[in-house]
Amino acid sequence: MKQPLCPTPGKPVRLRDFDADYSDGVAGKKRAAVELQKNLKALSDLGYRLYAENSRSLLLVLQGMDTAGKDGAIRHVMLGFNPQSCQVTAFKQPGVEELAHDFLWRISRAVPRKGSVGIFNRSHYEDVLVVRVHDLVPKAEWQSRYERINLFEKMLVEGGVTIVKVFLHISKDEQRKRLQARLDDPDKRWKFSRADVEERSYWNQYQRAYETALTRCNTKYAPWHIVPANCKWYRNLIVSRILRKTLEKMAPQYPPAEEGLDKLIIR
């Protein structure tokens, strides 16, 4: 049975209904790599047109549990974009200055300018995830944030920002394997933190928090995509497909050239 990529807006999302191992019958890693390269080539052209058009922007929001592959997806898929017009922002624990403002303050400062592609590695959704699981703010505060996020995203869309939201969905067992692989490989231990193990103990609470966010902030103007991410090559392929389809729908165009250039000769 084909698994939906985008849950229906207005309907509850249950992550147990989405198989993190799902691969849609894609015939292997090699064929996926061929399609990925085609998508990257298309993204390069579309991204250049978006940059030249300079009237709209694209924002990719990546969320997922620890080890879900946010960094990996960025590393493999964003190769298609010109670094000059593409910016990655990683939202870590907020600092003193950020905490002195509304939770959306640091987010709005990182929204991509016209003609650009922006990638959020984690995002404003941390403020209805981590703060909820660890009880960092009053319940009434984080509960009010879903609607504020929807209004914020609606404002961005109306201002010319196309938002692509992707939840990288992995299983608890796959996370265990990836954390253990980091621990076993001396060259990857720098990526391992005891805090990751502590956060893993909150797995069920995070799953419920994600389900609420995926349900309440799944709108027609900024829908969520739930991408199976146990298989890394499939994850990369699907993210590239989503971005290509989105940019093709946006159909950015080169601006018109000055009149009379056909007769101009450089001497």
CATH number for the domain that contains residue 37: 3.40.50.300
Domain assignment of residue 43, given as a range: 19-250
Kindly state whether residue 138 falls inside one of the protein's structural domains.
yes
Reference 220, options 159, 157, 127; nearest CA is 157
Sign of the Cα torsion 92, 118, 190, 188 reads positive
Whether 108 has a pLDDT exceeding 90, the answer reads yes
Kindly state whether residue 7 falls inside one of the protein's structural domains.
no
Distance (Å) of CA 19 to CA 33, 189, 226: 22, 29, 10
Kindly state whether residue 197 falls inside one of the protein's structural domains.
yes
Percent share of the chain, pLDDT over 90:
83
Kindly state whether residue 186 falls inside one of the protein's structural domains.
yes
Greater confidence (79 vs 26) lies with 79
Kindly state whether residue 201 falls inside one of the protein's structural domains.
yes
Which residues on neighbouring strands pair with residue 161, listed in sequence order? 57
Residue 226 CA to residue 238 CA, distance in Å, equals 10
The DSSP element (H or E) to which 140 belongs, if any, is helix 139-158
Residue 234 CA to residue 3 CA, distance in Å, equals 14
Kindly state whether residue 14 falls inside one of the protein's structural domains.
no
Whether 27 has a pLDDT exceeding 80, the answer reads no
Q: What is the pTM assigned to this prediction?
A: 0.95
- For 170, residues 6+ apart whose C-beta sits below 8 A from its C-beta are 20, 64, 65, 67, 68, 69, 178, 229, 230
State CA 103 to chain mean position distance. 19
Contact 250, 50 (CB under 8 A): yes
Kindly state whether residue 10 falls inside one of the protein's structural domains.
no
Residue 249 CA to residue 40 CA, distance in Å, equals 16
Distance (Å) of CA 176 to CA 62, 180, 197, 228: 21, 6, 9, 16
Distance (Å) of CA 247 to CA 120, 135, 163, 199, 224: 17, 38, 11, 36, 16
Indicate the number of domains in the chain.
1
Kindly state whether residue 196 falls inside one of the protein's structural domains.
yes
**164-204 residue pLDDT tens:** 999 999 999 999 999 999 999 988 899 888 888 999 999 99
